[in-house]
Every structure is written in structure tokens, then in C-alpha cells.
Amino acid sequence: MTDARNSFVLAIHGGAGTIDPSRMTPERETAYHAGLRAALTAGYAVLADGGAALDAVTAAVMSLEDNPLFNAGRGAVFNADGRQEMDAAVMDGRDRSAGAVAGVLGPRNPVLAARAVMERSDHVLLIGEGAMAFCRDQKIPLAEDASYFFTPERWAALQSELERRRSGQADDGDQARKHGTVGAVAQDRNGNLAAATSTGGMTAKRPGRVGDSPVIGAGTYADNATCAVSATGHGEFFIRYAVAHEIAARMRWAGHGLDEAAHAVVVDTLGPIGGSGGLVAVDHRGSMSLPFNCSGMYRGFVRADGVTHTAIYREVYRALGIGA
Ligand code: ASP
């Protein structure tokens, strides 16, 4: 068991999916690792300074949202109408307070909008126009216009998906191709847990579709008694299987360890039914689990020693004794 007073941990993801190594250039791969490292460094600075897990996960997610390589904030994917609708959530394991937004386009950092819902409203989840009005009231920083969020890669991905639909070509069933998300979980020096998740959702989704990321207990969850979880994957499955809460429930009621519970849900349950994706999780003991059931997940972690670890494919952090 880790001595929580002297230690802390932050784990992040930048989305899971079919990440084909043959289409990844060395430059791109380097840029992904650098993006993950920047997010770890931002969160680490908070935790090393004695800051709260909630602030660390917010800082890490903001860094990933600012990076157009990842599907959240800048770089969010487009829906079938060629618009972006973003979802985000935060949860504080101290008292299970939570905040989320869905279907927003405007906040540069949707995670800040989610956090404002948690801290400055009586609600947990605000959507669409109402969420945007709240953001304006609360002076959440907004992009000047939608072009801030535009990336040619996401636009091209939408066009190719729309073309596939038009031509009547069968979906190859590989939902993993279409998604991505960013998220972070942390335990701070005081032993408190927090989780944050932010996403553009899935390419060519129906306007109005909301994924698992802002659904507390599905894509995001934190409770000091068990664990903090941030998920990425085919959101409909993660909602139906209440993934993040299911992991906490297995720990609480079945006495599972974090890694055992996370693998049971992601690998043994979602894997066989085609619910592609993965998640990052930390528990009240400072243990970590980063399972996924597809070919890759952008991910990383840092502990109090300040050494950042990042990975994309199926490399396992065996030497460090961390399940992946
Ligand atoms: N889970 C997200 C959603 O369904 C997408 C992803 O994580 O890739 O909206």
C-alpha cells in the first residue's frame, strides 16, 4: 500500500482506437508522445506542489484539449452535419460532486465548463444552448469562432465516413476507427481522487448524440472509497454497461482489486461484444490500471518521482508492475 501523504499519481489517456502503426509516421508518433508528456507535466506541477487531484486532472485535460492532435476541444471530430458538439465531465472523489456539459461548441476548454457546472450551479449536467448560456454567464473562455476547433484531418475523416455511407459500402464494423477522447485520473498527496474526461465524440455522429464521457458512472467517475476512472471508446457500450461505476462496484462489493475489476469490464465484458475502447483508473491505494481492448490507446502516467511514462500500442509497463 502506498503512503498517500508522500505520494501521488496521475494517469491520462488521449483516446483509444485502431491506431495502425503502418500509417503512423515517426514525426506523428513523436508529437503524440510530446502531447501526452505536456499533459502529464501540467498535472504533475499541480500535484508536486501539494495541489488537489481535481486541479491536476483539470490541468492535464486542458493541455490535451489545447492540442489539435486529440479529439477534444481543439481537434474535436465533426458530426454528420459538419458541426462539432463536445462533451466533458469532472468528478471529485472527496464527496462525489460532479459536473458535466454535453453538445457544446464554444468553450475553448469544455472541461472548465464542466467544472463550473459542478462548482457554480445546482446541477450535474447541462446540455446544448442552456449549457452555452451558462458558460457565457460564468465567463468561461470561448473561442472567437468555430475555426479555432477546425482541423483538416477531422474534416477529411468526416468526408470519408459520409462518402462510405453515400456509396452504400458496408461499415467495416470497426467503430474504434471513429473515436478518441481525452481524460485524466489522479490521486493527490492527501489521498483524494478525481477524474476528468473531454471529447468531440464520434465522427459523423447524429447531431444531438451524447456519448459516455459526460455521463457520470459511464465514462467518468471518482469516489475516494474506491477509484477514479476516465474512459474512452464506443460510448454507447460504455453507457449501457455503466463502465466506470461497474469497476467501482466490483471493488466495493466483490472485493476486486482495481486492475482485476478494470480488466473484467474492459477486456472480458466489453471486448467480446464489440465495445471497443479502454480507460485509465487509479484507486484509493494509488494503484493504477490502463486496460484497453483495441489496438492502441494513447496513454501515460507520472508518479511523485516525476518520471513521465507514455505509450500508444500494446507495450505493457511490465517493468513497473502496471497492468495495461
Ligand atoms: N467515448 C467517446 C464517445 O463515445 C468517444 C471516444 O472515447 O473515443 O463519445
Nearest ligand 1 atom to the CA of 209 is 9
Over residues 64-94, the pLDDT tens digits come to 999 999 999 999 999 999 999 999 999 999 9
Give, for ligand 1, the residue of 84, 202, 210, 241 to mutate: max count of ligand atoms closer than 8 Å to Cβ. Answer: 202
Are the C-beta atoms of residues 100 and 114 closer than 8 Å to each other?
yes
Residue 286 near residue 187, CB atoms below 8 Å: yes
Q: For residues 265 and 183, what is the distance between their CA atoms, to the nearest angstrom?
A: 18
pLDDT band at 17 (very low <50, low <70, confident <90, very high): confident
Q: How far apart are CA 315 and CA 310, in angstroms?
A: 10
Q: Which of 2, 58, 151, 181 does the annotation list as catalytic?
A: 181
Which residue, by CA, sits nearest to atom 7 of ligand 1?
A: 232
Beta strands in the chain (DSSP E): 9-17, 86-92, 97-104, 125-127, 182-187, 193-199, 220-222, 227-233, 277-283, 288-289, 296-303, 308-311
- The Å distance, Cα 89 to ligand 1 centre, comes to 12
**Nine-digit cell string for 246:** 461497474
Question: Which residues line the pocket of ligand 1, CB cutoff 6 A?
Answer: 15, 179-181, 199, 201-202, 211-213, 219, 232-233, 235
- The tens digit of pLDDT for each residue in 113-144 reads 999 999 999 999 999 999 999 999 999 999 99
- Name, of 157-171, 174-188, 219-233, the range with top average pLDDT: 219-233
CA of 106 to the centre of ligand 1 (A): 19
CA of 201 to the centre of ligand 1 (A): 5
Q: Is 181 a catalytic residue?
A: yes
At 267, is the pLDDT very low, low, confident or very high (cuts 50, 70, 90)?
A: very high
Centroid of chain to Cα 39: 12
Contacts of 32 (CB under 8 A, 6+ apart): 14, 69, 298, 312
Express as a percent the part of the chain with pLDDT over 90: 85
Contact 97, 72 (CB under 8 A): no
Measured in angstroms, how far is the CA atom of residue 174 from the centroid of ligand 1?
A: 14
* Interval 165-181: pLDDT, tens: 999 887 765 555 566 89
Transcribe 44-65 into DSSP letters.
HHHHHTT--HHHHHHHHHHHHH
